[in-house]
Amino acid sequence: MTTTVTKLEKLVGKRIKRKEDPRLITGTATYVEDVKLPELLHAAILRSPHGAANIKSIDISKAAALPGVVAVYTGADILGVGSVVCAADLPGLRKPVHHILAQDRTYFVGHAVAVVVAKDRYVAADGVDLIEVDWQPTQAVTDPEKALAAGAPAVHPEWPDNTAFIHNQEGGDMAQAFADAEVVVKQRIVSQRLIPNPMETRGVVADWKQADKAMTIWTSTQIPHLARSILAGQLGLDENRVRLIAPEVGGGFGSKLNVYPEEALMGFVSMKLQKPVKWIESRRENFQTTIHGRGHVDYLEIAAKRDGTILGLKLKLIQDLGAYHQLLTPAIPTLSVLMMPGLYKFRNISAQVIGVFTNAVPTDAYRGAGRPEATHGIERMVDMLAAEIGMDPAEIRYKNFAGKDDFPFLTAAGLTYDSGDYAATLDKALEMIDYKGLREQQVQARAEGKLMGIGISTYGELCGFGPSPATPAGGWESATVKVEPSGKVTVMTGCSPHGQGQETSFAQIAADELGVPLDDVIVLHGDTSIVQYGIGTFGSRNTAVGGAALFYALQDIREKAKRFGAKMLGVEDGEVVLADGHCTDSNGNSVTFQQIAGAAYRGIVIPTGSEPGLVATRFWEPSNFAYPYGAHIIVSEVDKETGQIEIKRYLAVDDIGNIINPLLVDGQLHGGVAQGLGQALWEHGVYDDDGQLVSGTFMDYAMPRARMMPWIESAHTITPSPVNPLGAKGVGEAGTIGSTPAMVNSVVDALAPLGVRHIDMPMTAGKIWKLMQDSSIQEKKA
Partner 1 sequence: MIANSFEYSAPGSLKEALALLAEGAKPLAGGMSLIPMMKLRLANPEHLVDIGRLPELNYIREEGGAIHIGAGVTHFEVESSPLLLGKCPLLAETAAYIGDIQVRNRGTLGGSVAHADPSADYPAALHALDAKIVLTSSEGTRTLSTEEFFLDTFTTALDPGEIVSEVIVPVDAGLTGTSYQKFLQPASGFAIVGAAARVRQEGGKFTMVRVGVTGLSGNGYRARNVEDALVGQDVTDANIKAAAALVADGQDASSDLHATAEYRAHLAGAYTARALRAALSRSA
Partner 2 sequence: MKIAGTSQLPFPPEKAYDLMQDPAMLALAIPGCNSLEKTGDNEYKLSLKMALASLSGQFEGKVTLTEPNRPYSFKMLVEGTGKIGFVKGEGVIKLSGLGDGISITSAITATGIEFAGDAQIGGSIATVGQRMIDTTSKMMVKQFFKKLEKLGLGAEGTNPEAGGTAGE
Partner 3 sequence: MRTINVSVNGKQYSHEVEPRMLLIHYLREVIGLTGTHMGCETSLCGACTIEVDGKAVKSCTMFAVQADGAKILTVEGLAAPDGTLHPIQEAYWTEHALQCGFCTPGMIMITKQILERNPNPTEHEIREGLDGNLCRCTGYQHIVNAVRTAAKAGA
Q: Which does 663 bind (CB under 5 to 8 A by kind): partner 1, partner 2, partner 3, none?
A: partner 3
CB of 672 to partner 3, least distance (A): 8
Q: Does 129 bind partner 2 (CB under 8 A)?
A: yes
Q: Does 62 bind partner 2 (CB under 8 A)?
A: no
**Contact yes or no for 695/633 (Cβ under 8 A):** no
Selected from 95, 121, 450, 488, the binder of partner 1 by CB under 8 A is: 121
Task: Name the phi and psi angles at 290, rounded to 5.
Answer: -85, 145
Q: By C-beta, is 358 or 500 nearer to partner 3?
A: 500
**In Å, how far from its chain's centre is CA 262?**
21
CB of 691 to partner 2, least distance (A): 8
Q: Does 694 bind partner 2 (CB under 8 A)?
A: yes
CB of 58 to partner 3, least distance (A): 25
Q: Which does 138 bind (CB under 5 to 8 A by kind): partner 3, partner 1, partner 2, none?
A: none
Q: Which stretch binds partner 3 (CB under 8 A): 102-110, 321-329, 448-456, 659-667?
A: 659-667
Q: Which stretch binds partner 2 (CB under 8 A): 76-84, 199-207, 489-497, 687-695?
A: 687-695
Selected from 150, 604, 699, 782, the binder of partner 3 by CB under 8 A is: 699
Task: Name the phi and psi angles at 488, rounded to 5.
Answer: -70, 150
The residues in 700-729 that bind partner 3, with binding defined as CB under 8 A, are: 703-707, 709, 711-712
The residues in 700-719 that bind partner 2, with binding defined as CB under 8 A, are: 700
CB of 499 to partner 3, least distance (A): 3
Q: Which does 641 bind (CB under 5 to 8 A by kind): partner 2, partner 3, partner 1, none?
A: partner 1
Q: Which does 395 bind (CB under 5 to 8 A by kind): partner 1, partner 3, partner 2, none?
A: none
- Cα end-to-end distance, the chain, whole Å: 92
The residues in 99-128 that bind partner 2, with binding defined as CB under 8 A, are: 109
- Alpha carbons 392 and 487: distance in angstroms, whole number: 59
- Alpha carbons 477 and 497: distance in angstroms, whole number: 13
Task: Name the phi and psi angles at 712, rounded to 5.
Answer: -105, 120
What is the rounded (10 degree) CA torsion for 703, 707, 710, 715? 80
Q: Which does 642 bind (CB under 5 to 8 A by kind): partner 1, partner 3, partner 2, none?
A: partner 1
Contact string (CB under 8 A) for partner 1, positions 609-648, x = contact: --------------------------------xx------
**Contact yes or no for 521/491 (Cβ under 8 A):** yes
Q: Does 198 bind partner 3 (CB under 8 A)?
A: yes
The residues in 744-773 that bind partner 1, with binding defined as CB under 8 A, are: 764-766, 769-770
Helix axes 734-751, 765-781, angle to 10 degrees: 30
Task: Name the phi and psi angles at 368, rounded to 5.
Answer: 105, -40
CB of 319 to partner 2, least distance (A): 25
Q: Which stretch binds partner 2 (CB under 8 A): 164-172, 641-649, 675-683, 693-701?
A: 693-701
**Contact yes or no for 182/305 (Cβ under 8 A):** yes
Residue whose C-alpha is closest to residue 444's, from 651, 637, 647? 637
Q: By C-beta, is 234 or 508 nearer to partner 3?
A: 508
Residue type, 317: L
CB of 698 to partner 1, least distance (A): 6
Q: Does 709 bind partner 1 (CB under 8 A)?
A: no
Radius of gyration of the chain (CA): 28
Q: Does 34 bind partner 3 (CB under 8 A)?
A: yes
Residue whose C-alpha is closest to residue 120's, from 36, 51, 195, 193? 36
**Contact yes or no for 635/453 (Cβ under 8 A):** yes
Q: By C-beta, is 211 or 699 nearer to partner 2?
A: 699
- b or e along 498-533 (b: 16 or more beta carbons within 10 Å of the residue's beta carbon)? bbbbbbbbbbbbbbbbbbbeeebbbbebbbbeebeb
Q: Does 586 bind partner 3 (CB under 8 A)?
A: no
- Alpha carbons 654 and 676: distance in angstroms, whole number: 15
CB of 670 to partner 3, least distance (A): 3
- Integer angstrom CA distances of residue 736 from 196, 373, 461, 706: 12, 10, 11, 17
Helix axes 224-235, 261-273, angle to 10 degrees: 50
Selected from 584, 682, 740, 749, the binder of partner 1 by CB under 8 A is: 682
Q: Does 201 bind partner 3 (CB under 8 A)?
A: yes
Residue type, 384: M
Q: Which stretch binds partner 2 (CB under 8 A): 257-265, 665-673, 685-693, 767-775?
A: 685-693
Selected from 425, 500, 537, 543, the binder of partner 3 by CB under 8 A is: 500
Q: What is the β-pairing status of strands 582-585 and 348-357? A: unpaired
Selected from 61, 136, 168, 697, the binder of partner 2 by CB under 8 A is: 697
- Integer angstrom CA distances of residue 279 from 202, 207, 498, 512, 660: 9, 12, 20, 42, 37
- Alpha carbons 220 and 217: distance in angstroms, whole number: 10
CB of 692 to partner 2, least distance (A): 4
Q: Does 57 bind partner 2 (CB under 8 A)?
A: no
Q: Does 688 bind partner 2 (CB under 8 A)?
A: yes
Q: By C-beta, is 51 or 628 nearer to partner 2?
A: 51
List, in sequence order, every residue forming a beta bridge with 114; answer none if it has no partner: 46, 74
Q: Which does 34 bind (CB under 5 to 8 A by kind): partner 2, partner 1, partner 3, none?
A: partner 3
Q: Does 695 bind partner 2 (CB under 8 A)?
A: yes
Contact string (CB under 8 A) for partner 2, positions 37-56, x = contact: ------------xxx-----
The residues in 225-284 that bind partner 1, with binding defined as CB under 8 A, are: 282-284
- Alpha carbons 587 and 120: distance in angstroms, whole number: 70
The residues in 353-412 that bind partner 1, with binding defined as CB under 8 A, are: none
Q: Does 468 bind partner 2 (CB under 8 A)?
A: no
Q: Does 39 bind partner 3 (CB under 8 A)?
A: no
Q: Which does 764 bind (CB under 5 to 8 A by kind): partner 1, partner 2, partner 3, none?
A: partner 1
Residue whose C-alpha is closest to residue 525's, from 17, 20, 147, 11? 20
Q: Which stretch binds partner 3 (CB under 8 A): 63-71, 377-385, 469-477, 499-507?
A: 499-507
- Alpha carbons 712 and 666: distance in angstroms, whole number: 10
Beta strands in 621-668 (DSSP E): 629-638, 645-655
- Other Cβ atoms less than 10 A from the Cβ of 7: the count is 8
CB of 699 to partner 1, least distance (A): 5
Q: Does 708 bind partner 1 (CB under 8 A)?
A: yes
Q: Which does 690 bind (CB under 5 to 8 A by kind): partner 1, partner 2, partner 3, none?
A: partner 2
Contact string (CB under 8 A) for partner 3, positions 119-138, x = contact: --xx----------------
Strand order in the sheet with 242-245: 69-74, 112-118, 41-47, 277-280, 203-209, 214-219, 242-245
The count of C-alpha atoms lying within 13 angstroms of the C-alpha of 634, restricted to the half-sphere facing its C-beta, is: 30
What is the rounded (10 degree) CA torsion for 266, 269, 271, 276? -70
User: Where do contacts with partner 1 occur on this chain (CB under 8 A)?
Assistant: 121-122, 125-126, 129, 282-284, 641-642, 682, 686, 694-695, 698-703, 708, 764-766, 769-770
User: Where do contacts with partner 3 occur on this chain (CB under 8 A)?
Assistant: 17-18, 20-31, 33-34, 121-122, 197-201, 248-251, 253, 282-284, 498-501, 663-664, 666-667, 669-675, 697-699, 703-707, 709, 711-712, 735
